[in-house]
Structure 1
């Protein structure tokens, strides 16, 4: 998902909420992740096996959800987004089940940049809500966001 506009550094403020879309954690998404990373533990890909576990059904890979959220940032920042600086403090509280509709909350924790720099760091907090509304995951990530380009004289 690509933004139709850019969210530049100077427009980002601590406490600001960023609009990340909810998504479906489909069997196809989980199977693609398992194939791509050769991460085929049966709790993720074998429904019969999953029935025998404490969860009773297939669960998504925790890092799949993290990767999905980070990929969505391009849709928020557009051309303002430069690079991922880091991911930290991520916790998994409850499973995200295959087939769940997952809601996401994202807030800006901090913005830092030198006065004349062309970009700065934006620290974000993510809260992943499972289909029943409970907290499934929570963590932070930092990204480098550009300042708006200056208009060049004609």
Structure 2
């Protein structure tokens, strides 16, 4: 986590854009292709990025250009309807723009979007103010990490 000092107050800056991550997670659940056996939604955190991957590529006939322009093809209508009723999803086709806006507003790099094999992946990069030097790692980390990791 990074921080900025403005006047007398410190403002914490999360390593990753929380609003954008929430949006991508909701969409990963809503748009996953559950007919692909053995696949699941995967969240992976690396030292320099976070990846959220769900089973299934874009729906047939839909391109990345369509996706970026807000074209929406719903794969799981029941999940989407429930998420809308719970207030987790808003208007269809707005997720990409919402994620970009959240990243830009917070000063985060734009995420990457990829179709890979039978999956769709979103890659988030940490806030530029986040420090990744080894001096930022607590001294007791090697002691507390289990041997079988």
Higher strand residue share:
1
TM-score of the aligned structures, taking structure 1 as reference length: 0.28
TM-score of the aligned structures, taking structure 2 as reference length: 0.28
Higher helix residue share:
2
